Amino acid sequence: MSKYAFITGATSGIGLATAKALAAGGYDLALAARNEGKLSSVKADIEKEFSVKVTPYVLDVREPEEIRKTVAACLAAFGAPDVLVNDAGLARGLEPYAETKEEDILQMIDTNIKGLFLVTRAFLPSMLERNSGHVVNLGSTAGLYAYAGAAVYCSTKAAVKTFSDGIRIDVIDSDIKVTTIQPGIVHTPFSEVRFHGDKKRAEAVYEGVDALHAEDIADIIAFAVSRPKRVQISDIVIMANQQATGFMVSKKK
């Protein structure tokens, strides 16, 4: 591969749009998510539309052994990634914390924190060895502004921001870049996942809101990774025009 990006959560929403935006920029792609069927169809779609090679990896980022095997296979095949996008993440439920299910708490922590930390840990030594690479982590405005019913989700996204700041310090003597992308409300399957498949409740979140599109975030990620070597964008916060803080949106327009 000439230059390539490894993207987790690449079968839907922001991860999928980012895969396409980077393919448009000439990146070959190593794409990871849990659903093999969706990965195959994403590979076929992207290879049809762009002149790039797509390698799919079935990966559950909650499983450390799966991460080790996937990253080892990817490094053996392609070497250190030019760009690592840690996008896989989710919210589960929107209840007050005392009512939040333990399995939902663990799924958010294991995916959004543990998975992201361990995928980064698996790739970073190869980037350091080559003295190049860009780690892009998906935080959220939820990591900056807590909102009701989302104590765990918001905490996981605050962790992503702090983690990114920490590793940026640890790689300061290298040419590696670390960027946290912190979007506000983006219309993707995110709410359907949060509400355990309740499409009606999910769609109500976006009713009356001109929410961000996944492509808006993908464009910004493509911009961030295409800056000159001297330019490191540490954080980008992107809100919908109708949004003021994490979950505060106006539905009056």
Among 22, 31, 84, 142, binds ligand 8X3 (CB under 6 A): 142
**Cα 97–Cα 100–Cα 101 angle in degrees, nearest 5:** 155
Candidate residues 186, 222, 225, 249; the one interacting with ligand NDP per rule CB under 6 A: 186
Euclidean distance between CA atoms 19 and 10, whole angstroms? 7
Of the pair 135, 185, the CB lying nearest ligand 8X3 is at 185
Please give the backbone phi and psi of residue 108, each rounded to the nearest 5 degrees, phi first: -65, -45
Q: 247 contacts which partner out of ligand 8X3, ligand NDP, none, CB within 5 to 8 A by kind?
A: ligand 8X3
State yes or no: residue 180 binds ligand NDP (CB under 6 A). no
Separation in Å, CA 224 to CA 22, 55, 83, 168, 231? 11, 23, 11, 15, 9
CB-based contact 29:55 (threshold 8 Å): yes
Binder of ligand 8X3 out of 8, 18, 86, 140 (CB under 6 A): 140
Sequence-distant (≥ 6) Cβ neighbours of residue 177 within 8 angstroms: 133, 134, 135, 232, 233
Give the CB-nearest residue to ligand 8X3: 140
For ligand NDP, which stretch binds (CB under 6 A), given 12-20, 122-130, 224-232, 242-250? 12-20
From the list 25-33, 48-56, 71-79, 137-145, the region that binds ligand 8X3 by CB under 6 A is 137-145
- Sequence-ordered alpha helix ranges (H) in 90-178: 102-108, 116-130, 151-170
CB 60 within 8 A of CB 88: no
Residue number, 57 or 163, with CB nearest to ligand 8X3: 163
Residues near ligand NDP, by CB under 6 A: 8-15, 33-35, 38, 59-62, 87-90, 111, 115, 138, 140, 183, 185-186, 188-190, 193, 214
